[in-house]
Structure 1
Amino acid sequence: MGPLDGGTSTKPHIHASHPALIARLKRADGHLRAVIAMIEDGKPCLQIAQQMQAVEKAITNAKRALIHDHMDQCLGAEDPAADLSELRMIARYL
């Protein structure tokens, strides 16, 4: 099993972009918590839906950034056939 199919690696897989990605996701997490509070407080559905859309977009953009970074940093010319297979697997999440 490899990193894309749920397996574990013996070494950490960290990119220079990961701290910024973590910060993005923490902001999205805070925003989601605020949406939950809006629901608990009985805020209007339109406002809640708008904020949920913003959370969804933030997470989608973070996922896209992660995948693009992976494509830039992890796919090389060492094994083109393996790279193509991995690209096809990760592209499913775009």
Structure 2
Amino acid sequence: MNEKPHIHETHPAIVKRLRRADGHLRSIIEMIEAGRPCIDIAQQLHAVEKAVAQAKKTLIQDHLDHCLEDVVGPLPRDQRRTIDEFKAITKYL
């Protein structure tokens, strides 16, 4: 499979966020192994979950803003409304 790289402007920021989450996750494992209080561990797990969820949301929004636009192309205003509504509602995922 020889597909060209599919890189968007937001990808470096997403990678940075995921690397930070990876570091937090590693520290959470160390916290568990060290017997740290559950409240501290839960707080850090929450932070990792939020970071991963935000990375996913950014990736999906970026995909919709660029890839969907490339496929759909320019549309008259009345046809454009459905696409715009679809993009808007995905922000609630």
Pairwise TM-score range, normalised by the shorter structure: 0.7 to 0.9
Alpha-carbon distance, 1:53 to partner = 0.7
What's the TM-score once normalised by structure 1's chain length? 0.72
**1:67 equivalent in structure 2:** 60
Asked if 1:29 is matched to 2:2, the reply is no
Asked if 1:51 is matched to 2:23, the reply is no
Q: How many residues align?
A: 78
Higher helix share: 2
Alpha-carbon distance, 1:50 to partner = 0.9
Larger Rg: 2
**Alignment partners' CA distance in 2, 1:16 and 1:57:** 21
Deviations 1:54-77 (CA, angstroms, capped at 9, x unpaired)? 110110011001100111111122
SS of corresponding position for 2:16: helix
The ranges of structure 1 where at least 4 consecutive aligned residues each deviate by more than 3 angstroms after the TM superposition are none
Deviations 1:9-49 (CA, angstroms, capped at 9, x unpaired)? 61111111111110110001001111111001000011101
The percent of aligned pairs where both chains have the same amino acid is 57
What's the TM-score once normalised by structure 2's chain length? 0.73
Unaligned runs of 5+ in 1: 1-7
